[in-house]
Structure 1
């Protein structure tokens, strides 16, 4: 190596190599001195500005870093390394669009560049362009299966998209590479909560909190896990800590409100949700939570205001605000629960549906459907059967012995994914029930619908669609909840109950003969039996 006495004879590349070695050795002052010397003597050399840009960014001088790195890129636009560094500096400056352009330029030259895909995926995710972000993260992982940042980002994005099982796989791989990475632990904790693995989530989030004790979002997530485990006092302490760490972060206030609801402190819950609304005025969930708390407090007019805001913000109505307006008397009950509401309800419910319904509520609808079919079917094997609103497939063990072919249909992709794991269906499809039935002309001997009609008030359209799907003489078997004072009524739990006379009249109008119609109890709520019906309707020839 040449000494200081003969540096005048060095090439630019040799001087740059010495400067970079000083930088890599942690001697920032010497690296800066050499970089400035290079930039002065060789202003056209991009490497000097690249090094000075890195030094400026490390010092927090982001505008200066961007200036130097732009000059480095201008000196040789084909070089990916300065472009990547410029992209990162622009990200730090908050200029995500410009950063993305530089990452895309790298990918134009090198389509399999893992780091460029990973960075682009990250900023697209932060910009709300989730599908494209997921695609770039997948490409980053395909190019480099050990790219920890891409694995973590992909897991987080898949969780946001409701694909928590797949998200867990990528986050576990990220943590294998970096076991004490607080960000990955936090994201993995959220995934475990979504998968109803609450004890594991608590362990993971506790570890994340130890690594980042002042991270408000981790404290809020920890509060959520504790709330779901019914450790409400501990949960409240963590949620309060989250609000103290970041008073303008809505996650802590939202969790505090949910905990106060669980503790029957609706005044306190409403106050917390008011804070969330003030921080995120366009949050549908915040307005819905506030509406529910106002309703619990008997503040009907104030509840209606926030239900109405939910509908304006989300006309598809994933939270069921139209049902809420009906509950407070501000609107007539809709003829059926909104599709988006039912889909979201069961997507969210999928991971713990069976434990909550069967163990918690004593649900036995599938067994009741099986029992009535055993009483009304003329043959009990070789049948074409549709499990309409199949959910996680609870009815499949009852229906499979009767079926030559068993199909399942449900509006929730999360539920269908769970049903598929049973391996008992010949086909499964995600779709809205009436449209799905109408598309299956005269295909089935039996259509079974356990705990499905509770999401329909007016039954005519559903029964007409079922009649189209059945062969002549086919049977529609279902469970319902019971009311006696009107055709149908929307109950406090946003489930519809029906009268016997109404069901029989609608069945007759759609070409069915009532073969069996009996009182039954298929579930319990708050420790009390929920009155219901079981019915078998036969399509007349």
Structure 2
């Protein structure tokens, strides 16, 4: 009679797990399969087989094993965690998220489950929920590098580059030389206007992972912003070679070619972008712009039309391009989403671009006109509408007892606040802002604002309502002598002096001054403009 004692299931499983933990996957698999065959209701064997399949990135097989384990012991967090990971591999993101939520229902402070749920929600386009989960992950485990990096990407998408940069920096502190985190950090620095730093960081990401098309596209965008167009083209081309289906690389190549005045090549690149990702709205807009520059209005209208289907709010201003391509009449004003995005994106480099490159002098022109009409004056209640970064504040402040500013762009308002010259700043529509303050203002000033409006009647009527009797509306505009107002090729509106005079008088103003003026240059040439000072009767 043999003295051999057969091992219990628990002992056999312990032996299998020991083999797994010691890196002997083949032995662990053999032992786990043997247990599963002889004791099919023992969940641990199916769990171990699932882990072994996960290690081989065999998501479907792992899910099959883990499903059996969950059927046997449904309230085990470790099983649902592993099942979520398996479903991530198979691309079943929504199902994976359900299992991560199950883990959190059983263990609310499970950092890894929060992190993976956050990433899954990001992939599902649920940005705010994803951000909340990532924040909870790092609250539970501040050393969770993946959660910090995921949060960095989400914050960037949400238009919060400063916080995104900090999150990416924390990820890199935990895991240096991580290409994905370097990429996120570089993009955030770019949005903050720290272009030289962004270039260095993204160069590091590309060096560590040369085949990453996204990092190359982002580096190309930074080089383009730095006016290093040859370098930008080289990186964008490398991105398209690394992944011929990477739409963003084709997009960036198109933008570089556009900057180099190669309209045919730009259009070809944008065509490749929309072919690679047909739902990439901005690529359709860029294609429309390129086709319009090629003087192919039919193709431009088609591209703009497709863009507007994908983005009805029109963050890129396709309605303006469509009008310029002859597809519709010019709108009386640009889409609000377009104006907000335009100036949010422009905020960091606004002053340098206008003053340094375009010889912008609207505030100076406005100040001279006010001095001519009003003479020496101070203590006024002044509103700077469309205040932007506050370039007009130094001119208006000496006139003001109180100086307020309003702008549609939160990023512009943030930059204006840095000047410390305004008593109050507010984000909002300028017409609504004025209508809400009847008879409370002495001076409404608008430097380079009415160029973003076609129909001036609403702004004139609102200003007249906000002004006290004898109050002043002063503004600059671009000039045309052909029509009441016209949308120009730079997507800015120009007005005729006759139109301004007629609508000013209709709103109850007397025209104290209406003169030709040059407030900026375009392509090295002065742009015909006007300066006006109107007094409320």
TM-score, structure 1 length as denominator? 0.93
Q: Quote how far apart the aligned CAs of 1:330 are.
A: 2.8
Unaligned runs of 5+ in 2: none
Does 2:390 match 1:393?
yes
**Which residue among 151, 155, 158 is the counterpart of 1:154?**
151
Please say which of residues 367-376 and 54-63 is displaced more in the overlay: 367-376
Asked whether the equivalents of residues 344 and 409 of structure 2 are also in contact (C-alpha less than 8 Å), the reply is yes
Q: Which moved more, 1:192-201 or 1:452-461?
A: 192-201
SS at match of 2:203: helix
> Residue 350 of structure 1 is aligned with which of 327, 347, 355?
347
Partner SS, residue 132 of structure 1:
helix
1:465-502 CA distances to partner (integer Å, 9 max, x unpaired)? 11122222222121111112222221110111112121
Matches within 5 A, 1:17-36: 17-36=14-33
Deviation of 1:524 (Å): 1.1
User: Residues 110, 367 of structure 1: CA spacing in aligned structure 2 closer, same or farther, 3 A cutoff?
Assistant: farther
Tell me which of 294, 301, 312 is aligned to 2:309: 312
Partner of 1:218: 215
Using the TM superposition, give the Cα deviation of residue 200 of structure 1 relative to its aligned residue in structure 2, in angstroms. Answer: 1.4
Pair 60,467 (structure 1): closer, same or farther in 2 beyond 3 Å: same
Whole-Å Cα distance in 1 between the matches of residues 467 and 162 of structure 2? 36
What CA deviation, in whole Å up to 9, does each residue of 1:300-340 have, x standing for no partner?
22222222222333232222222112212332221112212
Equivalent of 1:383 in 380, 384, 389: 380
1:495 matches 2:492: yes
Partner in structure 2 of residue 469 of structure 1: 466
Alignment of 1:198-209 (within 5 A): 198-209=195-206
Deviation at 1:38, TM superposition (A): 4.2
User: Helix, strand or coil for the counterpart of 1:520?
Assistant: strand
**Which residue of 462, 486, 490 corresponds with 2:483?**
486
Deviation (angstroms), 1:42: 4.8
Unaligned runs of 5+ in 1: none
Is it true that 1:295 corresponds to 2:292 in the alignment?
A: yes
3-state SS of paired residue (1:238): helix
In 2, Cα distance between equivalents of 1:421 and 1:144: 35
Q: Deviations over 1:231-288 (max 9, x none)?
A: 2222222222211221111111111111111121111111111111222223321122
The correspondence for 1:364, drawn from 361, 366, 374, is 361
Partner of 2:334: 337
**Closer/same/farther in 2, CA of residues 18 and 365 from structure 1, 3 Å limit:** farther
Superposed CA deviations along residues 57-109 of structure 1, whole A, max 9, x for unmatched, are 11132212112222333333333222111111101111111111111112223
For 1:397 and 1:243, the matched residues in 2 are separated by 47
Could you tell me which of 156, 160, 163 is aligned with 1:163?
160
Which secondary structure does the structure 2 equivalent of 1:83 belong to? helix
1:382-461 to 2 correspondences below 5 Å = 382-461=379-458
**What's the RMSD between the two structures over aligned residues?**
2.2
Other-structure match for 1:99 = 96
CA distance in 2, matches of 1:113, 1:380: 65
Q: Secondary structure at the match of 2:248?
A: helix
Q: Which residue of 2 aligns with 1:88?
A: 85
Q: How many residues align?
A: 535
- Give the 3-state SS of the residue equivalent to 1:98 in structure 2: helix
Aligned partners of 2:302, 2:482: CA distance in 1, in Å? 30
User: 2:57 aligns to what SS in structure 1?
Assistant: coil
- Any idea what SS the aligned residue of 1:532 has? strand
- 1:244 partnered with 2:241: yes
Within 5 Å, give how 1:513-532 maps onto structure 2.
513-532=510-529
Q: Given the alignment, which residue of 107, 111, 131 partners 1:110?
A: 107
Q: Say yes or no: does 1:282 pair with 2:279.
A: yes
Distance in 2 (CA, whole Å) between partners of 1:132 and 1:117 is 11
Report the TM-score when normalising by structure 2.
0.94
State the Cα deviation string for residues 123-156 of structure 1 (Å, max 9, x = none). Answer: 1111111122122222222222222111111111
CA contact (8 A) 1:195 1:352 kept: no
Provide the residue aligned with 2:504 in structure 1: 507
Q: Deviations 1:436-486 (Å, cap 9, x if unpaired)?
A: 222222222222111110011111111111112222222212111111222
Is it true that 1:53 corresponds to 2:50 in the alignment? yes
Partner of 1:265: 262
- Separation in 2 of the partners of 1:358 and 1:510? 33
Distance 1:239 1:22 in 2: 48
Secondary structure, aligned partner of 1:208: helix
**Counterpart contact for 1:346–1:414, Cα < 8 Å:** yes
